[in-house]
Amino acid sequence: MDDTQEQTGPTTHADWGAGHPRLLVSSRESRSVYDIPVDGATIGSAQECDLRLPGADPVHASIRHDSRDEYVLTMQGPGETSANLEKSQDEERRGDEILRTGARFTIGPWRLVFMRDEFADHGRPFGGREGGEFSDQQLQEPRPDYPDSSPAS
């Protein structure tokens, strides 16, 4: 084997929208699973929201499925996210957050956890984190181009 060639290992890239993206939704009184539609979803208490949660703002959050096959959370109302727990409920602007399996966020009394099967999650194969345990992973193949499947096409 040529030592100058970079090795690539397993990948977490799959067909656009693959991996059964879903939210585990829970409160003190109930638990359910919400399958995220391929084009994303709005979350709130308004009748027109895809996922209606009593006690939430009319349109509290949205999840969009972008052209890179990522599911991206935008919080319009107060709540915490696992990516940035220190955001307070009176903060005016929030950034978009890419959801990975296990990402958590809150909306009022509701706790939501994003899940996507590992083979399609675009994260790090077999877990691990940069700079930590299992950080010396082989490179993945480049992300596929999803032009025929994404909403931008």
Report domain 22-120's class: mainly beta
Average pLDDT in the 79-106 region? Answer: 71
Among residues 33, 41, 59, which one has the least CA distance to residue 115?
33
- More reliable by pLDDT, 57 or 121: 57
Average pLDDT in the 44-66 region? Answer: 96
pLDDT at 88: 45
- More reliable by pLDDT, 144 or 46: 46
57-61, 92-96, 102-106, 116-120: lowest mean pLDDT where?
92-96
106 pLDDT band (50/70/90 cuts)? very high
Backbone angle region of 2, left / alpha / beta, with phi > 0 → left and psi within -120 to 50 → alpha:
beta
Q: Quick: pLDDT tens for 31-42.
A: 999 999 988 999
Burial 99-119 (b: 16+ CB within 10 A, else e): bbbebebbbbebbbbbbbebe
Is the distance from CB of 13 to CB of 46 less than 8 angstroms? no
